[in-house]
Amino acid sequence: MANHIKIGRREFRTKTEAQRHYRSILNDYSLGESLSDTDFNDILDLLTRHPEHEMKIGSGVSHIKVVQNPEYPSRCFWIFRNDGTNTDFSYITCVNGKSKTVNQEFTEACRVSVVDQILEYKNEYFASSGDGFCEETGVPVTWKNSHVDHIIPFAQIVSDFLDFTGIVPSSEMLSESTDSQCSVRFVCEKTESEWKSYHQIFARLRVVSVDFNLTRNRK
């Protein structure tokens, strides 16, 4: 069928539908739990679409677990190879089937570098109010079922930062892909420092429910 995505034995009408399927597998498991044989084969089919799948698979995949992302307050798939080594991979990158552009990787590095600011805002919000309310819908939220949202979209803040500083993203500013590196990071300390200061000043944050944030992101 035209424009449909075939991954292993499965066929999806859109990338969004495919991402929803693999995200449901990710959320079906407890942290540290290995995938069942059926889900393992499903995810292994997906992994072959990763632009760096040969490096990710390496000596062969022994098993795959769902683990806590070491860089974000979220979960991710983790590969354990036959030779005892292990690494992460992004199911979204697999569904897209192509590498990120330099600009996309720069934005990712920007997001990683301000995780501490995001967590500080969230911790202070709940420390002062206990359980809170989604600042968009008004529904009650807790620390666990809420996200910190940028009122001005994050991508727009990054774009404004680049316009303000005249910085042109390049691969030399960013870390190279390696095992167990869940996200691209800055290797240029000057750029990272300038960005973190800019974000601290200009980002406007709010706490919203997980349901609101995920539903909005699908639109």
Q: Write out pLDDT tens, residues 133-171.
A: 998 899 999 888 898 999 999 999 999 999 999 999 999
Same domain, 109 and 204: yes
Name the DSSP letter for residue 36: P
Same domain, 92 and 60: yes
Work out the percent of the chain whose per-residue pLDDT is above 70. Answer: 92
Give the Cα separation of 151 and 85 in Å (integer): 40
Give the ranges where the chain is alpha helix by DSSP (H): 15-28, 37-47, 53-57, 91-96, 102-113, 115-129, 154-165, 189-202, 210-218
Same domain, 110 and 213: yes
Tokens of 6: 């075939």
Residues forming beta bridges with residue 174, ordered by sequence position: 186
Number of domains the chain is built from: 2
CATH code of the domain in which 17 resides: 3.10.450.40
Q: Residue 182: pLDDT band by 50, 70, 90 thresholds?
A: low
More confident of the two residues 4 and 217: 4
Of residues 209, 182, 208, the one with CA closest to residue 68: 182
Q: 10-12 and 146-150: which strand pairing?
A: unpaired
For 194, the domain range is 102-218
Query: Which one of 63, 96, 129 terminates a domain?
Result: 96
What's the CA angle centered on 37, arms 24 and 50, to 5 degrees? Answer: 60
- Average pLDDT, whole number, for the chain? 89
